[in-house]
A and B are shown apart, each in its own frame.
Chain A
Amino acid sequence: MTTFKVLEQNNPRVDAWEKVTGRATYAGDVYLPGMLMCKVLASSRSHARIVSIDTSKAEALPGVRAVITGADFPEIRFGSGALKDRYILARDKVYYIGEPVAAVAAEDEITAQEAIGLIDVEYEDLEPVVDPLVSLRAGAPSVHPDLESYEGYGFTIEGGNICTLLDADRGDVDQAFAEADYVFEDTFRSQGINQGFLEPMACVASVEANGRLTVWASTQGPYQVRAQLASVLDMPLSNIKVVPMELGGGFGAKLRLAFEAYPALLAMKTGNPVKLINTREEVFTLNGPRHPVTNYLKTGVNKDGAIVAREGYTIFDVGAYLGAGPNSGIGHGLGAYDIPNFRLRSYAAYTNKVYVGSYRASGVADMTFAVESHMDIIAHKIGMDPLEFRLKNAIKEGDIAVNGSRVPRNGLAECLAAVKERLGLPRELPEGHGVGIALCEWRSGAGPSTAAISVNEDGTVSLLTGSVDISGSDTSLASIAAEALCIGMDQVIVAKRDTDLAPFTGPSGGSRIVYSQGKAVELAAEDTRNKLFALAADRLGVPADALVCAEGRVYVQDNPPQGYTLGQLAAMSVNSRFGPIVGNAALSTLPYAPVFSAQAAEVEVDKETGQVKLTRYVQCQDVGVAINPMAVEGQLEGGAVQGIGRALTEDMLFDPETGAVRNPSFATYLMPLALDLPELETLMVRVPSEDGPFGARAVAEPPGFGPPAAIANAIYDAVGVRIRELPLSGERVLAALRGEGSDVAYIGDELDELKRAEGLAG
Chain B
Amino acid sequence: MNKQSLSIKVNGRERQTLVAPYYSLLDTLRDELQLTGTKKGCDEGDCGACTVILDGNPVTSCLVLALSAQGSEVTTVEGLASPDTLHPVQQAFIERGGLQCGYCTPGLIMAAVGLLQDNLQPSAEEVKFAIGNNLCRCTGYTKVVEAILLAAERMAAAE
Contact = CB atoms under 8 A, between A and B. Distances in A.
A698 B31 CA distance: 40
Contact of B135 (A24, A630, A671): A671
A637 B103 contact: no
A674 interface: yes
Main secondary structure, interface of A, reads loop
Nearest to A279: B43
B142 A680 contact: yes
Interface stretch (A181-189, A245-253, A479-487): A245-253
B125 to A, nearest CB: 8
A251 B109 CA distance: 23
A38 B150 CA distance: 43
Interface string A1-30: 000000000101101110111111110110
A449 interface: no
A198 B86 contact: no
B122 interface: no
Nearest to A680: B142
B61 interface: no
B92 to A, nearest CB: 9
B131 A199 contact: no
A241 to B, nearest CB: 22
Contacts of B38: 22
A599 to B, nearest CB: 13
B66 to A, nearest CB: 14
Contact of B44 (A251, A666, A679): A666
Interface string B108-148: 01000000000000000101110111111111111111000
A518 interface: no
A82 interface: no
Contacts, number: 172
B94 A12 contact: yes
Nearest to A673: B132
A499 B28 CA distance: 33
Main secondary structure, interface of B, reads loop
Interface stretch (A71-79, A154-162, A264-272, A638-646): A638-646
Nearest to A251: B137
B94 A249 contact: no
B97 A19 contact: no
B36 A29 contact: yes
B45 to A, nearest CB: 8
A638 B140 contact: yes
A472 interface: yes
Contact of A13 (B34, B86, B94): B94
Nearest to A636: B140
A399 to B, nearest CB: 33
B58 interface: no
Given A20-B93, A28-B40, A249-B101, A666 B34 contact: no
Contacts of B56: none
Contacts of B153: none
A637 B95 CA distance: 17
* Chain A interface category by residue count: 35 or more
Nearest to A20: B90
Nearest to B36: A29
B63 interface: no
Contacts of B42: 280, 665-666
Question: Which of A16, A247, A637 counts the most chain B CB atoms within 10 A?
Answer: A16
B25 interface: no
Contacts of A25: 36
A22 B78 contact: yes
A199 B103 contact: yes
A196 interface: yes
Interface string A102-145: 00000000100000000000000000000000000000000000
A631 B102 contact: no
Given A21-B78, A198-B39, A249-B103, A665 B140 contact: no
Contacts of B137: 195-198, 249, 251, 638, 642, 671
A667 B125 CA distance: 22
A196 to B, nearest CB: 5
Contacts of B47: 198, 280, 666
A547 to B, nearest CB: 36
Nearest to A645: B137
A249 B139 CA distance: 11
Given A21-B77, A637-B142, A16 B94 contact: yes
A210 B155 CA distance: 53
B39 A199 contact: yes
A316 B18 CA distance: 52
B101 A248 contact: yes
B22 A110 contact: yes
Given A20-B90, A667-B44, A248 B103 contact: yes
B108 to A, nearest CB: 9
Contacts of B41: 198-200, 280, 666
Contacts of A63: none
A254 B96 CA distance: 27
A198 B44 contact: no
Contacts of B105: 19-20
Contacts of B125: 675
Contact of A675 (B30, B46, B101, B132): B132
B103 A22 contact: no
Contacts of B46: 280, 665-667
Given A13-B94, A675-B128, A248 B102 contact: yes
Interface string A669-707: 001111101011010000000000000000000000000
A24 B132 contact: no
B122 to A, nearest CB: 13
Contacts of A17: 86, 94
A117 to B, nearest CB: 16
A333 to B, nearest CB: 28
B99 interface: yes
A19 B102 contact: yes
A584 interface: no
A31 interface: yes
Contacts of A677: 140-141
B34 A31 contact: yes
B139 A24 contact: no
Interface in A447-463: none
A10 B140 contact: no
A471 interface: yes
B149 to A, nearest CB: 12
A247 B139 contact: no
A280 B44 CA distance: 9
A679 B94 contact: no
B107 to A, nearest CB: 9
A12 B47 CA distance: 26
25 contacts: A12-B95, A20-B81, A20-B91, A20-B105, A21-B78, A22-B37, A22-B76, A22-B77, A22-B106, A26-B39, A26-B103, A28-B36, A28-B40, A198-B41, A198-B137, A247-B101, A248-B103, A471-B100, A637-B140, A638-B136, A638-B137, A665-B44, A665-B46, A674-B134, A677-B141
Interface of A: 10, 12-13, 15-17, 19-26, 28-29, 31, 110, 195-200, 246-249, 251, 277, 279-280, 471-472, 630-631, 633-634, 637-642, 665-667, 671-675, 677, 679-680, 682
5 smallest CB-CB distances across A and B, nearest first, come from A22-B37, A248-B103, A19-B102, A637-B140, A641-B140
